[in-house]
Amino acid sequence: MREITLDEIEALAVGAWVLGTGGGGSPYLGLLNMRRLYAEGKRVQLMDPDELADDDMVAVVSNMGAPLVGQERLVDSANIGRAVTLMEEYLGYSFRAIMSVEIGGNNGVQPFLAAAETGKPVVDADAMGRAYPEAQMTSFAVGDLKPWPLSLVDPRGVEGIVAKVPSWKWMERLSRKMCVEVGSIAATCKAPRTGAEVKRWGILRTTTQAIALGQAILLAQKEHRDPVQAILDSEKGLLLFRGKVADIARRTTEGFLRGTAKLDGLDGWRGQGFELAFQNEWAVGWLDGVPRVMTPDLICVLDSVSGEAIGTETLRYGQRVTVVALPAPKVFLSPRGLDFVGPRAFGYDLDFRSVFDGVPT
């Protein structure tokens, strides 16, 4: 266990945004909360998963809802902290530590807000290794772990518990309804996990990974080196394409932002085209019409100059972008893992083939 510095949290916000693979919401508002909490003298400890006893209980937190609503209601550390204590009151025991369900985007920072509020450490792990659009797209669901209970909190004092559901899909349906009712944004504490479950099914050390990634980007920017190369080096990633955005089409269906982006090649890719499909996050990429990369491999679209991640909501015509792939957590590469987060889970009739197959590591 070690204390995390504010500089590391600043880096975490940068790295988590890249691991958001186009979605997950910007970590900016969470970061502002952490700056305030650290200015008030709060400090957060980061705990390695191996430090958990098998029977320790871990709170799994996330902020759910519409990013647009979040821009008005903002993010308040008190809410995510209350989601944790509410769950403790319901269960009648105390959590040993807190972890994120999703390291990518805004939720990568949320456990730190809850930890600063409650004085508990953050476990260096999550259940996605990136961002995914739906609650059942987690390693815990792949492990067929219990999906209930869930606590949900809004700042007015609305506090709800989903006591029991038969499946992860049902949990998504019920919690989504509650979230919409309290204003389409809510702090949640998901089904608690034992230390043994975290060590067996969690995606381990992703917080450390996101901090290192953010530090690599910030350092490259400071030293005027290529930040994209820094990302590739830090994450053992693959450079897939460099180009400019030639067309972008978005539509909102069933509560998700879906669409496609077309890129025209630059540099070594002149004359070639790359097409990306997204559902909140980038899902599949085609090079000249041939599938080149697909979920669960992480697809990141970066500003070619700054190396900063670009979200599916903000990509626009003319931007100079670089597409990179980062390796997916192993748990999602099994046939069962692919049922949850493979291309068919997003409606693409493709057999998953990792872009890293045959690439020496």
Note the residues at the interface with other proteins (CB under 8 A): 29, 32-33, 36, 65-69, 71-78, 155-157, 180, 183-184, 244, 246-247, 251-252, 255-257, 280, 313-314, 317-320
Tell the smallest beta-carbon distance from residue 93 to other proteins (Å): 27
> Which residue from 312, 97, 301 is spatially nearest to 207, judged by alpha carbons?
97
Tell the smallest beta-carbon distance from residue 291 to other proteins (Å): 25
Tell the smallest beta-carbon distance from residue 185 to other proteins (Å): 9
Q: Are strands 44-47 and 122-123 parallel, antiparallel or unpaired?
A: parallel
β-partners of residue 189 are 61, 151
Report the SS3 class of residue 266.
Answer: coil
312 and 259 Cβ atoms separated by less than 8 Å: yes
Tell the smallest beta-carbon distance from residue 177 to other proteins (Å): 9
Angle between helices 6-19 and 28-39 (to 10 degrees): 170
Residues ≥6 apart with Cβ < 8 Å to 38: 6, 9, 116
Tell the smallest beta-carbon distance from residue 13 to other proteins (Å): 13
Sign of CA dihedral 281, 286, 291, 297: negative
Nearer to other proteins, 279 or 295 (CB): 279
Nearer to other proteins, 37 or 59 (CB): 37
Nearer to other proteins, 134 or 197 (CB): 134
Nearer to other proteins, 33 or 215 (CB): 33
Tell the smallest beta-carbon distance from residue 280 to other proteins (Å): 8
Calpha distance 117→120 (Å, rounded): 8
Tell the smallest beta-carbon distance from residue 155 to other proteins (Å): 4
Calpha distance 171→35 (Å, rounded): 33
Nearer to other proteins, 156 or 166 (CB): 156
- In this structure, what token pair is assigned to residue 1? 């266990």
323 and 22 Cβ atoms separated by less than 8 Å: no
Tell the smallest beta-carbon distance from residue 166 to other proteins (Å): 23
349: phi then psi, degrees, rounded to nearest 5: -80, 70
| Long-range contacts, 115-120 (Cβ 8 Å, 24+) | 115/44, 115/45, 116/34, 116/37, 116/38, 116/42, 116/43, 116/44, 116/77, 116/81, 117/37, 117/77, 117/78, 117/80, 117/81, 117/82, 117/84, 118/81, 118/84, 118/85, 120/59, 120/84, 120/95, 120/96
Nearer to other proteins, 10 or 297 (CB): 10
Widest Cα–Cα separation across the chain: 63
298 and 358 Cβ atoms separated by less than 8 Å: no
What letter does residue 223 receive in the DSSP assignment? T
Nearer to other proteins, 288 or 339 (CB): 288
Tell the smallest beta-carbon distance from residue 233 to other proteins (Å): 23
Nearer to other proteins, 71 or 272 (CB): 71
Nearer to other proteins, 254 or 357 (CB): 254
